[in-house]
Amino acid sequence: MTVHVDSSSIACPDCDLLQQLPPLPRGTKARCARCGSVLASRPSGPRDLPLALAIAAVITFGIANVSPLMGLSAVGRTASTTIAGGAYQMWLEGEPLVGALIAFSAVIAPGAYLSFMLVLLIAARRTPPPHWVGEMLRWAHHFEMWSMLEVMMLGILVALIKIAELASVEAGIGMYAVFALIVLMPSILVTFDTRELWSRVDWVEDAAARQTSTGALVAETQK
């Protein structure tokens, strides 16, 4: 069974059906003919938009992590907490694993996702983009899955309502920064045209071939 395969051929990631991808106009996406999952999408925004969003997100991420999320005052005493403070307190209270999980899903994973995306988007401006952008994108996807800022936000809201009976609670700057991040973080990948990046990327195969030929050249000159 021989099937003709060219650069427009694609296998559905969810059901493995082979199909030809039609040329996509800006702002459209293609769905699998059999299972309906999204095969490819072409964002409509300008090419530098994801980079701009990533830079904004990195700055917001910094603010979200150093400023207090919320303050609490009761009987003349005040307390405030940051994201890392929430994780650290769990560690102190005898739940180190849960503390580590919170730190990972609310600080480390979003931070890693943003750093990988920033480096990737800067590298993608080179022609051709280096082949390691593929690895960066892979890692960014993994960390995005484990970054749970929106879940944390809802969790904080529930906690606040529970505490509101005992004390008066105020939202801090960190809270507004987290709000902004929840919008900014997914928008980086949504506005980023990954298929266009793959069409320009420097193939691992070619890079390896080049390295062997330069290696041979060096050996030649040393002789």
Partner 1 sequence: MTAAQHTAARAGLVSCEACRLLSRPASTSTPGFCRRCGEKLESRHHASIETTWALVIAAAICYIPANVLPVLNTTSLGETEADTILGGVAFLYASGSWPLALIVLIASVMIPLGKLVALVYLMLTIQRGSIANNRERTRLYRIVEIIGRWSMLDVFVVAFTVALVQLQPLTSVAPGAGVLFFAAVVVLTMLAAESFDPRLIWDASGGQQADHG
Which residue in 167, 171, 180, 182 binds partner 1 (CB under 8 A)? 167
Which residue in 44, 89, 211, 213 binds partner 1 (CB under 8 A)? 89
Taking contact as CB under 8 A, which single stretch among the options 22-30, 55-63, 113-121, 202-210 is the one that binds partner 1?
202-210
Query: Distance (Å, rounded) from C-alpha 223 to C-alpha 214?
Result: 14
Site map (CB under 8 A) of partner 1, residues 48-87, x = contact: ---------------------xx-x-xx-xxx-x---xxx
Which residue in 154, 173, 183, 218 binds partner 1 (CB under 8 A)? 154
| DSSP code per residue over 45-80 | S-TTHHHHHHHHHHHHHHHHHHS-SEEEEETTEEEE
Closest approach of partner 1 to the CB of residue 6, in Å: 9
Query: Distance (Å, rounded) from C-alpha 131 to C-alpha 204?
Result: 6
Which residue in 66, 122, 166, 217 binds partner 1 (CB under 8 A)? 166
Q: Which residues contact 29 (CB under 8 A, 6 or more apart)?
A: 38, 39, 40, 41, 42
Residue with smaller CB distance to partner 1, 58 or 159: 159
DSSP 8-class letter at 13: T
Query: Distance (Å, rounded) from C-alpha 115 to C-alpha 151?
Result: 21
Which residue in 107, 177, 188, 201 binds partner 1 (CB under 8 A)? 201
Is 94 a binder of partner 1 (CB under 8 A)? yes
SS3 category, 33: coil
End-to-end Cα, the chain, rounded Å: 51
Closest approach of partner 1 to the CB of residue 68, in Å: 11
Closest approach of partner 1 to the CB of residue 15, in Å: 4
Which residue in 43, 50, 110, 134 binds partner 1 (CB under 8 A)? 134
Q: What is the token pair recorded at 107? A: 């600080």
